[in-house]
Amino acid sequence: MKRIAVPLEGLLLFEPQVFGDARGFFQETWNQRTYGPLGLSAEFVQDNLAFSQRGVLRGLHFQNPHPQAKFVYVLQGEVFDVAVDLRQHSPTFGQWFGEYLSAENRRQLYIPPCFAHGYVVTSETCLFAYKCDDYYNPTTQHCIRWDDPAIGIRWPIEKLILAPRDASAPCLKDLPAQNLFP
């Protein structure tokens, strides 16, 4: 298992060990005894799976109260995955980190609570898996505009497919302060 340094405190990027031969491969996608010593000690309570086509952008989503940490990876295809720091007193508040996650590179990203999360599918189709450390709560879910100029995410796809809620989401500066994290 390899942990890769990232610029936002709390985010963890992993490159798991894969054992392959002529029959195929084997990979552990989660093992607390392996990830725990590398800084990931979350207790996950919900697993989710999303299938999308090229250009689908999901996000930028977060919950408050009941923030969710997420552990994300791709089973088929590729995404450009993004996390945005929403901790108001963090030196990296409003900054983003993006990484290509794919079935080929098998990289996994841990997004701690108090971050917004989103991704865009860069392959023809994608099967995206993620674990959450708290349950989905639609009454506390919020969204930030995917193209907020103050955040400045450089998405690698120009023609995007968005849910109406994501397309009309407010910019970070327009969110009520109580929706963010102290």
3-class secondary-structure state, position 27: coil
Residue recorded with tokens 């860069």: 122
Rounded (10°) CA dihedral 158, 161, 165, 171: -10
Q: Which of 35, 61, 100, 110 is catalytic?
A: 61
Q: Is 142 a catalytic residue?
A: no
In the annotation, is 66 catalytic? no
Residue 40 in tokens:
């990931």
Q: Which string of DSSP letters, residue by residue, matches 100-146?
A: EEETTT--EEEE-TTEEEEEEE-SSEEEEEEEESS---GGGEEE--T
Q: Which of 35, 73, 119, 130 is catalytic?
A: 130
**Residues noted as catalytic:** 61, 130
